[in-house]
């Protein structure tokens, strides 16, 4: 059996129109299972507790909600230039900054009574402390660019993520390369299809996602992050152990 996770990145009140378009697109395509990557306070200006109707709308989809950073903004770093430009929020965060951002994010999540236990950092960029801090907050897993890590067992599940760039120049390149990468990973056991809200401003990307997802539905079983993590059992050393915040 081969699997796929369909995920919509950058879900925020700021992108509400694109979110609506994306969900309508997925519904018309018959994609019945997908994950919504929620930004609690996009750019520090759109805290979800001020947009109760939007959060309610997201909840009513009855799809898995994933925490996607805190503000989704970070320092511009030359080494990340191919992946992002100022959105690698956790890339250079210290231990204290990492904890503070996650605490603020979880305060908003809890204020809206959302049940979230999986994290995907913006641009899939983490830092040396992120896994431990997430574990201390009770998260079960974290998704990086090429893998999903089970924080209870420490197991890495290989899982390439296909996505388009939405930056000038690289956007065109990604449109040309995504079909090639899709063919390259055709037999990979677990594949992630990372749609971004910005994709729904580009008809070319919408058309390609339609083709790719139509094929995915025929060839793979759609699952959530939670289902993927449940397939990897905790190791004996972790069984019965609750997050205790060892580092923080």
Mean predicted confidence (pLDDT) in 126-132:
95
Of residues 73 and 117, the one with the higher pLDDT is 117
* Angstrom distance (rounded) from CA 190 to CA 128: 25
Instruction: List pLDDT tens digits, range 154-196.
Output: 999 999 999 999 877 788 889 999 999 999 999 999 999 999 9
Q: What is the pLDDT of residue 77?
A: 54
Instruction: List pLDDT tens digits, range 204-224.
Output: 999 999 999 999 999 999 999
Mean pLDDT across the chain: 90
Q: What is the pLDDT of residue 88?
A: 66
Q: What is the pLDDT of residue 191?
A: 98
* Phi, psi angles (nearest 5°) of residue 148: -120, 130
Q: pLDDT-derived band of residue 153, with 50, 70 and 90 as boundaries?
A: very high
Q: Is the pLDDT of residue 149 over 70?
A: yes
Q: What is the pLDDT of residue 233?
A: 55
Q: Is the pLDDT of residue 73 over 50?
A: yes
* Angstrom distance (rounded) from CA 75 to CA 88: 7
Of residues 243 and 32, the one with the higher pLDDT is 32
A 10 A CB-CB count for 11 gives: 27
pTM reported for the whole predicted model: 0.89
Q: What is the pLDDT of residue 216?
A: 98
Strand, helix or coil for residue 17? helix
* % of the chain with per-residue pLDDT over 70: 88
Structural domains in the chain, CATH included, are: 3-230 (3.20.20.370)
Q: What is the pLDDT of residue 83?
A: 54
Structure tokens at 58: 């997201």
Instruction: List pLDDT tens digits, range 4-27.
Output: 999 999 999 999 999 999 999 999
Strands 41-42 and 46-47: antiparallel
Q: Is the pLDDT of residue 143 over 90?
A: yes
Q: What is the pLDDT of residue 79?
A: 54
Least confident of 54-58, 89-93, 236-240: 236-240
Mean predicted confidence (pLDDT) in 226-236:
75
Q: Is the pLDDT of residue 148 over 50?
A: yes
| Closest among 11, 229, 56 to 134, alpha carbons compared | 229
Residue given tokens 């796929």 in the structure block: 4
Instruction: Check: CB of residue 70 under 8 Å from CB of residue 45.
Output: no
* Angstrom distance (rounded) from CA 235 to CA 111: 33
Instruction: Check: CB of residue 88 under 8 Å from CB of residue 123.
Output: yes
* CA dihedral sign, ordered 191, 198, 214, 20: positive
Q: Is the pLDDT of residue 247 over 70?
A: no
């Amino acid at each position: 059996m081969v699997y796929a996770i369909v995920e919509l990145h950058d879900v925020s009140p700021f992108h509400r129109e694109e979110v609506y378009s994306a969900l309508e697109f997925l519904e018309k395509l018959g994609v019945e299972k997908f994950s919504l990557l929620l930004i609690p306070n996009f750019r520090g200006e759109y805290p979800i507790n001020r947009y109760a109707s939007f959060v309610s709308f997201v909840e009513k989809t009855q799809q898995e909600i994933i925490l996607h950073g805190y503000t989704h903004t970070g320092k511009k770093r030359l080494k990340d230039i191919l992946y992002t430009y100022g959105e690698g929020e956790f890339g250079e965060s210290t231990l204290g900054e990492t904890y503070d951002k996650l605490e603020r994010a979880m305060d908003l999540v809890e204020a809206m009574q959302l049940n979230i236990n999986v994290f995907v950092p913006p641009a899939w960029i983490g830092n040396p402390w992120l896994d431990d801090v997430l574990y201390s907050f009770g998260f079960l897993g974290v998704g990086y660019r090429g893998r999903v890590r089970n924080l209870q067992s420490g197991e890495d599940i290989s899982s390439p993520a296909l996505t388009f760039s939405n930056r000038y120049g690289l956007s065109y390149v990604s449109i040309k390369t995504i079909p090639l990468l899709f063919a390259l990973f055709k037999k990979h056991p677990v594949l992630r299809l990372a749609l971004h809200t910005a994709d729904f401003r580009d008809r070319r990307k919408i058309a390609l996602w339609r083709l790719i997802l139509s094929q995915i539905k025929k060839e793979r079983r759609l699952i959530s992050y939670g289902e993927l993590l449940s397939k990897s059992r905790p190791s004996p050393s972790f069984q019965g152990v609750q997050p205790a915040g060892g580092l923080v």
